[in-house]
């Protein structure tokens, strides 16, 4: 069945004209020219076959039909606005955390049960992105980002320096016997220089055979499957080493120039965000105490 509904742009233009009783003010609201608004009204009237506005010398007035239509449209747009706000509004009490995929998957999520044991008042909504966070436009309460030694934004808290070390499956490590020149190197496109940084710092000559993955998380999984050796932060593979899925191939990790940073929105911070931040810092301190080399 063919819809007889006019274009939404025309309906919105007419609704604003009816609200402001002015082509000029309606045009300003939509950031378009007055002739553009007039053209949309004329298009709407032609499509409906009904006069909606009457032009006077220096003003416009709604016709009787236009007034009835404008009233119905105002109610309809109000419903649309309410539905949209409800859709975008986070669940009541939800804490919105933005982080990197690998850090969220391999560090945060395994520890979230600890956080829920401390509190039951709110849920946590975790999203991931490599893009910088913009608290003015992004629906985020807490962000964990990577940056240099200096604070990336005012009020940021430095969490931990990013160190890297090579890891491999027990079978691959045994077959190589410490001979890195015979290895296949697995690298993350998000951190393509980590192998070179580690090789230069450790004085290890590295082979040219590489397999690249979109994220460090994928590269770690490939190493677990025996495809090659991965360069990763020890903090991200602690459980894999503990469970015997991976073995460390160097005694001491190499420090990079990057740090994990905790970011909170400027101004007033939600109490849930303060609580989560304190818990996060505590978990980081526990890990540092348990694994000083990491």
Q: Is residue 76 part of a domain?
A: yes
Question: 1 pLDDT band (50/70/90 cuts)?
Answer: very low
Residue 81 shares a structural domain with residue 218: no
Two tokens at 47?
């499509």
CA distances from 223 to 5, 171, 231, 250, 294 (A): 56, 10, 9, 15, 19
Residue 200 shares a structural domain with residue 234: yes
Taking alpha carbons only, the member of 102, 93, 245 closest to residue 172 is 245
Q: What is the mean pLDDT of residues 5-27?
A: 89
Q: Is residue 41 part of a domain?
A: yes
Report whether 170 contacts 204 (CB < 8 A): no
CA distances from 54 to 23, 41, 58, 69 (A): 12, 11, 11, 14
88, 113, 129 — which closes off a domain?
88
**What pLDDT score was predicted for residue 72?**
86
pLDDT at 120 over 50: yes
pLDDT at 114 over 50: yes
pLDDT at 3 over 70: no
Q: What pTM value is reported for the model? A: 0.67
Residue 31 shares a structural domain with residue 81: yes
As a residue count, the chain comes to 294
Residue 230 shares a structural domain with residue 167: yes
Question: 185 pLDDT band (50/70/90 cuts)?
Answer: very high
Cβ contacts of 195 within 8 Å, gap of 6 or more: 185, 187, 206, 210, 231
**What pLDDT score was predicted for residue 150?**
82
Residue 36 shares a structural domain with residue 47: yes
Instruction: Write the Ramachandran bin of 79: left for phi over 0, alpha for psi from -120 to 50, otherwise beta.
Output: alpha
Residue 82 shares a structural domain with residue 144: no
Beta-ladder partners of 255? 163
**What pLDDT score was predicted for residue 119?**
81
Q: Is residue 219 part of a domain?
A: yes
Residue 267 shares a structural domain with residue 150: yes
Residue 235 shares a structural domain with residue 262: no
Q: Is residue 74 part of a domain?
A: yes
Residue 225 shares a structural domain with residue 262: no
Helix axes 8-20, 34-48, angle to 10 degrees: 110
Q: Is residue 2 part of a domain?
A: no
- pLDDT single digits (tens) 212-263: 999 999 999 999 999 999 999 999 999 999 999 999 999 899 999 999 999 9
pLDDT at 292 over 70: no
- Give the range of the structural domain holding residue 202, as residue numbers without chain letter: 161-257
How many domains, in total, are found in the chain? 3
Residue 127 shares a structural domain with residue 268: yes
Q: Which DSSP string do the residues of the chain spell out, in sequence order?
A: ----PPPHHHHHHHHHHHHHT-HHHHHHHHTS-HHHHHHHHHHHHHHHTS--EEE-SS-EEE-HHHHHHHHHHHHHHHHHHHHHHHHHSPPTTPEEEEE-HHHIIIIIHHHHHHHHHH--S--EEEEE-SSPP-TTTS--SEEEEEE-SS-SSTT-EEEEEEEEEEEE-HHHHHHHTT-GGGPPEEEETTBTTHHHHHHHHHT----S-EEEESSHHHHHHHHHTTS-EEEE-GGGSHHHHHTTS-EES-SSPEEEEEEEEEE--SS---HHHHHHHHHHHHHHHHHHHH-TT-
Phi first, then psi: what are they for 19, rounded to 5°? -70, -40
Residue 84 shares a structural domain with residue 223: no
Residue 62 shares a structural domain with residue 191: no
Q: Is residue 15 part of a domain?
A: yes
Q: Is residue 3 part of a domain?
A: no
CATH code, 189: 3.40.190.10
Q: What is the mean pLDDT of residues 177-194?
A: 92
Asked whether the CA dihedral 90, 91, 94, 98 is positive or negative, the reply is negative
What is the distance between the alpha carbons of residues 16 and 285, in angstroms, rounded to a whole number? Answer: 56
């Amino acid at each position: 069945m063919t819809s007889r509904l006019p274009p939404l742009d025309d309906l919105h233009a007419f609704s604003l004209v009816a609200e402001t009783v002015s082509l000029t003010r309606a045009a300003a609201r939509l950031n378009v020219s007055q002739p553009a608004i007039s053209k949309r009204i004329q298009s709407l009237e032609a499509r409906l076959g009904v006069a909606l506005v009457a032009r006077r010398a220096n003003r416009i007035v709604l016709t009787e039909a236009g007034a009835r239509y404008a009233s119905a449209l105002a109610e309809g747009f109000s419903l649309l606005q309410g539905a949209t706000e409800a859709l975008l509004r986070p669940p009541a009490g939800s804490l919105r955390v933005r982080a990197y995929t690998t850090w969220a998957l391999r560090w945060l999520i395994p520890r979230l049960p600890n956080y829920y044991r401390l509190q039951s008042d709110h849920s946590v909504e975790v999203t991931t992105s490599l893009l910088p966070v913009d608290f003015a436009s992004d629906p985020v309460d807490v962000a964990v980002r990577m940056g240099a030694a200096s604070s990336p934004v005012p009020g940021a808290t430095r969490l931990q320096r990013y160190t890297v070390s090579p890891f491999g499956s027990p079978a691959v490590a045994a077959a190589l016997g410490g001979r890195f020149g015979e290895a296949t190197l697995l690298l993350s496109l998000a951190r393509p220089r980590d192998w070179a940084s580690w090789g230069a710092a450790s004085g290890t000559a590295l082979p040219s055979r590489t397999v690249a993955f979109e994220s460090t998380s994928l590269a770690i999984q490939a190493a677990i499957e025996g495809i090659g050796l991965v360069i990763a932060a020890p903090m991200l593979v602690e459980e894999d080493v503990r469970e015997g899925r991976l073995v460390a191939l160097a005694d001491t990790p190499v420090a990079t120039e990057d740090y994990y940073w905790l970011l909170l929105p400027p101004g007033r911070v939600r109490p849930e965000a303060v609580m989560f931040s304190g818990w996060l810092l505590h978990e980081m301190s526990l890990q540092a105490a348990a694994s000083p080399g990491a």
